[in-house]
């Protein structure tokens, strides 16, 4: 949906402004196309540029309270499984005889292919039915995935692990796409798929477009009569792209619901977005309207959507077992002690390293307390004794406050070093700048946690 990095406000206009002329033209064309598909814009929504988020949505005439509909978009406006199944030229690219049950494609990857297909039609012949929508999509994204090598070398392990996982998923899906369409030539221009068109760079951009701008729905309500792609796909088809609706930005202070409903005419379905709760009782005309993408922490927002929220209500900071091992090695007091390998083996075998986090309101998670207790407070290392301790009375785990304080202080110092390393680069890409600012937000969060929950680590 409308994904924008909140710290951009320092470079953004100080007041609400209209989009640039070329963007305004694309939006007007999109309004017309959606209107032709049955959208009536009953809430008088308009796209404007706001100081906090750049592009976003508001209503110029209507105020909103809890329970009000924000938008009712006909299902025919969506790019869904029904859209792909009804496009004969797109289906013809995927020969069912080549489908392999051991090499299935995610639906997200298939929708990315459809975006590339439509973009190529738009670029070569202006024949895409989604030309106006394509013109409103971002030309670049700010996820850490798009950081350059020098920036990646300055990022913490928690981010790098997400980036590596995304890269693996992208690569695996792209290899399947190449095996299916890579030997074909485009009918309209003669270029080769996955060499001249549908390149890896094109696919990455399309994939993150789908990843960051999709809505979720019940695919059974949009099921096609025949399924060409069913045996190709590895999961369900419960996402769709929603032109114009995807301009809504996310806030942690609102609650919204979204679902497919029978249209008011009784023919077909509408995707209906309702504001259930907001930061104040009523939103006035020209106030930006936000929706909720879910109760997402900043790490998820950054890696999937390319932004973070300052003082995000849903944020927490997660630790890994490697973080604790690094802390032990670098702390003068802990590095001089001996830790039996059975303890770390037990922690891994019982997945106690999952859900190790700190929360500004709730304090230290149970698993983090258990792990700190096992490592720093127990002399026993036999599995049966460790099992009794780990899954015994929780009261015994309150004695890890000093170690927690040292761990948090260690992480603050580490993240400051990452920020310093990024600042020493001659220039940062936009993705690099967003990642750096996210790290600064992590430092602020941990310092706030430290002031409330930790003993002095001096």
Which of the pair, 71 or 350, is modelled with greater confidence? 71
Give the per-residue pLDDT at 5.
46
Give the per-residue pLDDT at 456.
58
pLDDT beyond 70 at 2? no
pLDDT beyond 60 at 13? no
Query: Which of 5-19, 155-169, 333-347 shows the highest mean pLDDT?
Result: 155-169
**Residue spans of alpha helices (H) in 195-292:** 200-213
Give the per-residue pLDDT at 337.
75
Q: What is the mean pLDDT of residues 217-228?
A: 82
Q: What is the mean pLDDT of residues 441-458?
A: 88
Q: What is the mean pLDDT of residues 315-341?
A: 86
Q: Report d(CA 82, CA 226) in Å as an integer.
A: 10
Give the per-residue pLDDT at 455.
67
Give the per-residue pLDDT at 343.
83
Q: Report d(CA 1, CA 20) in Å as an integer.
A: 20
Q: What is the mean pLDDT of residues 101-129?
A: 94
β-strands 290-291, 317-318: how paired? unpaired
Q: Over the chain, what is the mean pLDDT?
A: 91
DSSP 320-376: -HHHHHHHHHH-HHHHTS---HHHHHHHHHTTTTTT-EEETTTEE-HHHHHHHHHHH
Q: What is the mean pLDDT of residues 2-24?
A: 60
**Residue spans of alpha helices (H) in 224-319:** 298-305
Q: What is the mean pLDDT of residues 202-229?
A: 91
Query: Confidence band (pLDDT; 50, 70, 90) for 17?
Result: confident
The answer to whether the beta carbons of residues 71 and 290 sit under 8 Å apart is: no
Buried b / exposed e along 437-450 (16+ C-beta atoms within 10 A)? bbbbbbbebbeebb
DSSP 102-170: TB-B-HHHHHHHHHHHHHHHHHHHS--TTHHHHHHS-S---SGGG--HHHHTTS-HHHHHHHHHHHHHH
Q: Which of 271, 325, 232, 307 is nearest to 2 (CA)?
A: 307
Q: Report d(CA 3, CA 24) in Å as an integer.
A: 18
Alpha carbon distances (Å) from 67 to 92, 265, 281, 399, 409:
44, 21, 11, 47, 44
Give the per-residue pLDDT at 4.
47
Is 6-305 CATH 3.90.1410.10?
yes
Which of the pair, 334 or 41, is modelled with greater confidence? 41
β-strands 363-364, 357-359: how paired? antiparallel
Give the per-residue pLDDT at 12.
45
Percent of the chain at pLDDT > 70 equals 91
Query: Confidence band (pLDDT; 50, 70, 90) for 315?
Result: very high
Which of the pair, 129 or 12, is modelled with greater confidence? 129
Q: Report d(CA 278, CA 253) in Å as an integer.
A: 6
Give the per-residue pLDDT at 10.
41
pLDDT in tens, 130-188: 999 999 999 999 999 999 999 999 999 999 999 999 999 999 999 999 999 998 999 88
Residues spanned by CATH 3.90.1410.10 within the chain?
A: 6-305
Instruction: Record the tokens describing residue 310, joined without a space.
Output: 């300052």
- Whole-structure pTM value: 0.92
Buried b / exposed e along 87-116 (16+ C-beta atoms within 10 A)? beebeebbeeeebeeeebbbbbbbbbbbbb
pLDDT beyond 90 at 226? no
pLDDT beyond 90 at 266? no
Instruction: Record the tokens describing residue 102, joined without a space.
Output: 């051991």
CB contact set of 228 (below 8 Å; sequence gap of 6+): 85, 91, 94, 96
Residue 140 main-chain phi, psi, to 5 deg: -150, 165
Buried b / exposed e along 391-421 (16+ C-beta atoms within 10 A)? eeeeeebeebeebbbbbbbbbbebbeebbeb
Which of the pair, 444 or 227, is modelled with greater confidence? 444
Q: Report d(CA 39, CA 457) in Å as an integer.
A: 59
pLDDT in tens, 367-419: 999 999 888 877 666 666 677 767 766 556 668 899 999 999 999 999 999 99
Q: Which of 416, 403, 402 is nearest to 447 (CA)?
A: 416
Give the per-residue pLDDT at 89.
95
Query: Confidence band (pLDDT; 50, 70, 90) for 339?
Result: confident
């Amino acid at each position: 949906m409308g994904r924008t990095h909140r710290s951009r406000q320092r470079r953004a206009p100080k007041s609400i402004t209209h989009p640039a002329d070329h963007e305004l033209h694309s939006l007007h064309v999109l309004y017309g196309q959606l209107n032709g598909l049955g959208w009536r814009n009953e809430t008088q929504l308009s796209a404007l540029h706001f100081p906090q988020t750049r592009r976003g949505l508001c209503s110029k005439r209507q105020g909103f309270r809890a329970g009000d509909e924000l938008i009712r978009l006909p299902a025919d406006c969506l790019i869904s499984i029904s859209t792909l199944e009804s496009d004969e030229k797109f289906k013809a690219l995927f020969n069912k005889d080549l489908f392999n049950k051991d090499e299935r494609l995610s639906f997200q990857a298939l929708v990315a292919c459809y975006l590339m297909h439509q973009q190529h039609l738009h670029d070569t012949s202006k024949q895409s039915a989604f030309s106006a929508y394509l013109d409103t999509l971002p030309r670049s994204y700010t996820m850490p995935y798009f950081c350059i090598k020098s920036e990646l070398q300055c990022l913490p392990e928690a981010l790098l692990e997400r980036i590596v996982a995304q890269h693996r998923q992208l690569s695996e899906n792209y290899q399947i796409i190449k095996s299916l369409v890579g030997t074909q030539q485009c009918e309209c221009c003669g270029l080769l798929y996955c060499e001249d068109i549908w390149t890896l760079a094109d696919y990455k951009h399309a994939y993150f477009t789908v990843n960051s701008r999709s809505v979720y729905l019940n695919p059974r309500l949009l099921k096609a009569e025949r399924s060409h792609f069913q045996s190709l796909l590895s999961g369900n088809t419960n996402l769709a792209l929603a032109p114009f609706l995807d301009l809504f930005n996310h806030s942690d202070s609102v609650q919204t619901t979204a679902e497919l409903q029978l249209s008011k005419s009784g023919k077909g379905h509408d995707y209906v977005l309702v504001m259930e709760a907001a930061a104040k009782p009523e939103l006035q005309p020209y106030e930006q309207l936000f929706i909720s993408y879910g109760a997402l922490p900043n790490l998820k927002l950054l890696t999937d959507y390319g932004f973070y929220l300052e003082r995000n209500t849903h944020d927490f900071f997660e630790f890994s077992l490697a973080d604790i091992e690094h802390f032990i090695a670098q702390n003068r007091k802990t590095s001089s002690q001996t830790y039996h390998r059975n303890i770390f083996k037990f922690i891994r075998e019982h997945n106690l390293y999952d859900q190790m986090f700190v929360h500004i309101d709730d304090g230290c998670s149970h698993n983090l307390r258990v792990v700190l207790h096992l490592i720093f407070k127990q002399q026993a290392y036999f599995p049966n004794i460790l099992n009794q301790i780990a899954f015994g009375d929780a009261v015994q785990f309150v004695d890890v406050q000093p170690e927690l304080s040292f761990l948090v202080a260690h992480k603050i110092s580490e993240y400051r070093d990452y920020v310093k390393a990024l600042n020493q680069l001659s220039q940062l890409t936009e993705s690099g700048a967003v990642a750096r600012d996210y790290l600064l937000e992590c430092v602020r969060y941990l310092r706030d946690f430290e002031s409330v929950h930790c003993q002095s680590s001096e």
